[in-house]
Structure 1
Amino acid sequence: MDNNTKRTVVVTGFGPFGEHTINASWVAVQELKKLGLGHDVDLYVYEVPVEYQTVQSLVPSLWNQYHPQLVVHVGLSGMATTVTLEKCGHNYGYKGLDNCSFCPDSQCCIEGGPDCIDSVIDMDSVCKRVSASGLGVAVSVSKDAGRYLCDYTYYTSLYLSQGRSAFVHVPPLGKPYSGEDLGRALQAIVQAMLDLLAQSEDKIHCQHGH
């Protein structure tokens, strides 16, 4: 890849839902926006409402508008105590009602799509890198994004991007991390993901004999 080429990254967080009147995921994404990802990355951030039908239209529009190198969706898990990297998205099992009291009739994301789609990014490698960086924020890996709007958004994005998406769950604010802590963790995570993507692209170029 030409080093002068700016890479485009889109990061989304979710709006309020249920008792979570302040959604830690959007706070964390705003903190990441302040920190940035370096001068060679154009970072765009979006707040996503907790609504299936909005996700259905918004996620494709982000890919079409920006043609990003990577899209990272960030969501809140009330049960999480670590920053959690999700390996895959699931197509079926969406029974929970969204903020509009709606859920898909089919209870799935993409009719006829595979049951599960893995990210092309090796989340175990990202986790090791970030954990070794001495950030002071615990990071873990998961294979179950929860069958609600988080999982739904992730699957939709993975399907559209042939796996060039990631999902990060964050705990509620103050349990135990501040918004600033979460923003720093996201910065380290996204930079590690971009490094891994660049490495895999370099390998592909080498195999093609350039």
Structure 2
Amino acid sequence: MDQRKTVVVTGFEPFGEHAVNASWIAVQELEKLGLGPNVDLHVTEVPVEYQAVQNLLPSLWKRYKPQLVVHVGVSGMATTVTLEKCGHNHGYTRLDNCHFCPESECCVEGGPECISSVLDMDVVCKRVNSSDLGVTVSVSKDAGRYLCDFTYYTSLYLGQGRSAFVHVPPLGKPYSAEELARALRAVVLEMLEQVERSGVTQHCHHGQ
């Protein structure tokens, strides 16, 4: 009998031109689908605010002690479901929903410039794309130096790399919320399997 796993998946609140944030809509649809009987899925909506992220993320890691945390964000430029390989520490000059940005312009003062996920996104991408899902998945190394990248870096730092970030396109461009949720489900299950296979749950991997 497989032991129970815990996965946290987050989406973001509306911001800027995204009056409806596709990431949170897709995550809510994913919650309806679930990740199977052996996985406890917890979903959370993340404010588009630097300080809120810095308060919320440590509490999520501490409260749920998840095997994996997957953050989902929307990108107006994305046309595929995009897996981000790493988070960046510096370059946060864009104001959030509270018209605030960190004085240091970084996530973690003294932290490494870039932290890579312990997950092999190329393998996840290849496997999901070969599964005939009807949704195209791609890989990226630049999560955009805004709340998505900020959240990802912070989570990678807290979780020793056991975190992932997925960018989704706006709803209907070209995928529906249900299609995005199905793609997220496939991606998250693939990631969870990889975490289990590689036994990376307790090791610290700071990417170069």
Tell me the TM-score normalized by structure 1: 0.94
Q: 1: CA distance between counterparts of 2:187 and 2:3?
A: 21
What's the secondary structure of 1:135's corresponding residue?
coil
What is aligned with 2:3? 5
Q: 1: CA distance between counterparts of 2:193 and 2:39?
A: 12
Residue 4 (structure 1) shift = 3.9
Question: What do the CA deviations read for 1:25-60 (whole angstroms, capped 9, x no partner)?
Answer: 001100100000000000000000100000000000
Cα 1:191/1:157, change in 2 over 3 Å: same
Q: 2: CA distance between counterparts of 1:113 and 1:54?
A: 19
Q: 2:36 aligns with which of 35, 38, 43?
A: 38
Q: 1: CA distance between counterparts of 2:2 and 2:185?
A: 21
Query: Match of 1:26, as an amino acid?
Result: W
1:23 aligns with 2:21: yes
Q: How does 1:1-210 map to 2 (within 5 A)?
A: 3-201=1-199
Residue 198 (structure 1) shift = 1.1
Q: 2: CA distance between counterparts of 1:17 and 1:201?
A: 37
Aligned length: 201
Q: 2: CA distance between counterparts of 1:152 and 1:168?
A: 13
Larger radius of gyration: 1
Residue 5 (structure 1) shift = 1.8
Query: Match of 2:169, as an amino acid?
Result: P
Q: 1: CA distance between counterparts of 2:59 and 2:196?
A: 24
Question: What do the CA deviations read for 1:172-207 (whole angstroms, capped 9, x no partner)?
Answer: 0000000000000000000000111111029x9xxx
What's the secondary structure of 1:155's corresponding residue?
helix
| Contiguous gaps of at least 5 residues in structure 1 | 205-210
Question: What do the CA deviations read for 1:108-159 (whole angstroms, capped 9, x no partner)?
Answer: 0000000000000000000001000000001000000000000000000000
Q: 2: CA distance between counterparts of 1:14 and 1:188?
A: 20
Q: 2: CA distance between counterparts of 1:4 and 1:92?
A: 40
Query: Match of 1:95, as an amino acid?
Result: T
Q: 2: CA distance between counterparts of 1:156 and 1:23?
A: 21
Q: 2: CA distance between counterparts of 1:22 and 1:172?
A: 9
Q: 2: CA distance between counterparts of 1:160 and 1:18?
A: 28
Query: Match of 1:135, as an amino acid?
Result: L
Q: Which runs of 4+ in 1 moved over 2 A?
A: none
Q: 2: CA distance between counterparts of 1:159 and 1:96?
A: 21
Tell me the TM-score normalized by structure 2: 0.95
Q: 1: CA distance between counterparts of 2:134 and 2:105?
A: 39
